[in-house]
Amino acid sequence: MISEEIQRIHEALPSGVRLVAVSKYHPSEAIREAYAAGQRVFGESHAQELQRKHQELANLGLEWHFIGHLQTNKVKYIAPYVHLIHAVDSLHLLSEINKQALKSGRIIPCLLQLHVAQEETKFGFTPDEARLFLEEGVWRTMKGVEIAGIMAMATNTDNTFRIREDFHQARRFFEEARKDFFQESNHFRELSMGMSDDWHIAVDEGSTLIRIGTQIFGQRQY
Ligand SMILES: *Cc1c(COP(=O)(O)O)cnc(C)c1O
């Protein structure tokens, strides 16, 4: 039951940790059910799907997060209303978000995706790349975006030691970056990590935003 899972998770979360209910591939009806259980923050990973649900559910006043890989040419669809973009992995993408945000007269909070998992994926900055990106400082000139923290995914494995290490590395980078680059700003405060199978570990390791789909909504309907 969607409402029971939502309640169960809310009860287990320490204060300061928020739940993003990942509703991708699930119908608006499922979102309404979660809404009825008190959930207000939802995550989607396809721009057109988000666009459609945003329109269908406009009267609910939901907080929409974009959580997956975002293609540059899709930014324009979500820029007018998206609350947080979780997975910025290039300057090119951040520039486009900035441009579209300014067009909408907005400042869009964004997280940098940090690649910490022990697996090949093309997405995310390595810690070295992320540090360089922050040092170069082009982001400081962009008035339509705000770097609000870090997002990371752990290795897809049953080895909980490995998962903990990955989250720990993300947390360490988050703390260092906050100290080195964001001391004068209070925007840099979100650490988005933890999914259905690993969120307990992520919360242990300092997550502030967990992104949960399957545990709440069941298997995705393709
Ligand atoms: C789909 C997705 C999730 C949710 O995953 P579950 O295992 O269903 O909880 C979280 N984060 C990202 C980036 C996703 O794409």
DSSP 88: E
- Considering Cα of 152, then 120, then 213, then 69, what sign does the dihedral take? positive
Could you tell me what percent of the chain has a pLDDT over 90?
Answer: 94
For residue 195 and ligand 1, the question of a CB distance below 6 A is answered with yes
The domains located in the chain, with CATH, are 2-217 (3.20.20.10)
pLDDT at 140 over 80: yes
pLDDT at 31 over 80: yes
Average pLDDT over residues 140-154: 98
Q: Which atom of ligand 1 lies nearest, measured to the CA of 212?
A: 9
pLDDT at 5 over 80: yes
Please report the pLDDT score of residue 120 as a whole number.
79
| Least confident range of 63-72, 82-91, 112-121 | 112-121
> pLDDT by residue (tens digit) across 158-201?
999 999 999 999 999 999 999 999 998 889 999 999 999 999 99
Q: Which atom of ligand 1 lies nearest, measured to the CA of 24?
A: 1
Average pLDDT over residues 128-148: 98
Average pLDDT over residues 125-133: 97
Average pLDDT over residues 18-23: 98
Average pLDDT over residues 132-158: 97
pLDDT at 123 over 90: no
* Distance (Å) from CA 43 to ligand 1 centroid: 9
pLDDT at 122 over 80: no
DSSP 155: -
Tell me the average pLDDT of the chain: 96
Distance CA 78, CA 31 (A): 18
What are the angstrom distances between the C-alpha of 127 and each of 124, 131, 182? Answer: 9, 6, 16
* Distance (Å) from CA 211 to ligand 1 centroid: 6
Helix axes 28-36, 2-12, angle to 10 degrees: 50
pLDDT at 42 over 90: yes
Distance CA 167, CA 153 (A): 8
For residue 109 and ligand 1, the question of a CB distance below 6 A is answered with no
> pLDDT by residue (tens digit) across 44-86?
999 999 999 999 999 999 999 999 999 999 999 999 999 999 9
Kindly indicate the confidence band of residue 222, based on its pLDDT and cuts at 50, 70 and 90. Answer: low
Please report the pLDDT score of residue 221 as a whole number.
72
For residue 214 and ligand 1, the question of a CB distance below 6 A is answered with yes
DSSP-H helix ranges across the chain: 2-12, 28-36, 47-56, 75-78, 91-103, 127-136, 160-181, 199-204, 214-217
What are the angstrom distances between the C-alpha of 200 and each of 193, 195, 208? Answer: 10, 9, 12
